[in-house]
Structure 1
């Protein structure tokens, strides 16, 4: 299949999902709909019992500013396997992975950490998909939300992408976050591509992602069984069998 991948640009690091899709034999056109801008460095870690990371971009941001040696020995709660693997690559030695969402990660933290041991620092985006601070406050946890990056939405689709939509070049679109899906739906409508989009399969990381496509009307939007990249690859492999 020819797939439109909408993830933010990962800079010098090749996107693992892009690599996986190409390895599976798909043609991939990358059109980032969000631009990531790093904002800050790691905060002071005195009295901190652990770190929370809900996106690889949080790790990229602090890596760009330099990660202090003390951070590598702290427990790091990663939202899912992909973020956990990236944390280990950077040198974090005690990584605890969640199943893939912030809500589920809160449950993991409740089961492993103790409120009295110290604060937890969430290396967060400017916009939060799930508010871990409030979710864990009722259990007595002190979560410090430290914004290390922001995302800016694209104002339009690239002309070549619009041309490819109109030519029917794509078979599917890969959407990995609710905000990306919301931006996608808006830009498709602005470009008058609703009819073209209705013919495509929109591969969604979660139900929350699929719900953001409602503005496009009736579109085919299968959802991964679990919200992480490996399950997205499995979902696309299942659907791709219909194209063979």
Structure 2
């Protein structure tokens, strides 16, 4: 019995380790690839940095702007991105905790609270992905803040499942599938159809990070969809435990 992990690299390795700690085998099948988007440093002064994904921090790892941003406060949602920020060298990391993945409203509230309602003299720099579900700049502009958005990465879908995943499907080893975003869920469905495993895949339990992700699987006809109670890794592992059949006595 194994769980198919569609989370992109390199984060899928941490998910696999968490599953193995529970005695569950993991088959890695990332369906999205993170690509860095080049951008110029205009030398402007910023009051702080906003990120909603660890991918943004990886994208500026070798960028000239990184060194001068490290001294600024960094605002993010969730422990995973916060840990990545600290590992990248940011000392002033401020975390918004939310039950929704990358919740922009919670992030805007965090920035406003941290600034005590008084917008700083310089804009905030939002290091964003190419696909933005909510305009953080607009949320903060309504509170009187100025935000400069720079797209620093994009997630590109992959068209095929890796051979290890196909072999596991053929052997009947896949017991559940984990999904972390709507785009990766759609990429999984497309790849499953191309590889000829769509029917067997839809019959499996699908563990989703949020209701929005789950909607993609339900619309495709998935037989059983389990949604994580919170938008974090621990809740995803717990969702897998709920989805898997009870061990035989």
TM-score by structure 1 length?
Answer: 0.88
Whether the aligned pair in 2 keeps the contact of 1:173 and 1:200 (CA below 8 Å) is yes
Q: Counterparts of 2:245 and 2:7 in 1: how far apart (Å)?
A: 24
Q: CA offset at residue 173 of structure 1? A: 0.7
Give the 5 Å matches for 1:35-184: 35-40=33-38, 43-44=41-42, 46-65=44-63, 68-98=66-96, 99=98, 100-103=101-104, 104-113=106-115, 114-184=118-188
Does residue 220 of structure 2 align to residue 216 of structure 1? yes
Contact 2:159 2:190 in 1 (8 A): no
> Match of 1:64, SS?
coil
Which stretches in structure 1 are left out of the alignment for 5+ residues? none
Give the stretch that moved more between structures: 74-83 or 61-70. 61-70
CA distance in 1, matches of 2:15, 2:8: 12
Instruction: Give the drift of 1:42.
Output: 7.7
Number of residue pairs matched by the alignment: 242
For residues 151-207 of structure 1, give each alpha carbon's deviation from its aligned partner in whole angstroms, at most 9, with x where no partner exists.
Answer: 211122234423432432201111111111121122223434332123311111111
| Distance in 1 (alpha carbons) for counterparts of 2:141 and 2:149 | 12
Aligned counterparts of 1:165 and 1:106: Cα–Cα separation in 2: 43
3-state DSSP of counterpart to 1:171: strand
CA contact (8 A) 2:51 2:74 kept: yes
Moved over 6 A (4+): none
Deviates more, 1:158-167 or 1:49-58: 158-167
Moved more, 124-133 or 65-74: 65-74
Distance 1:105 1:243, change over 3 A: farther
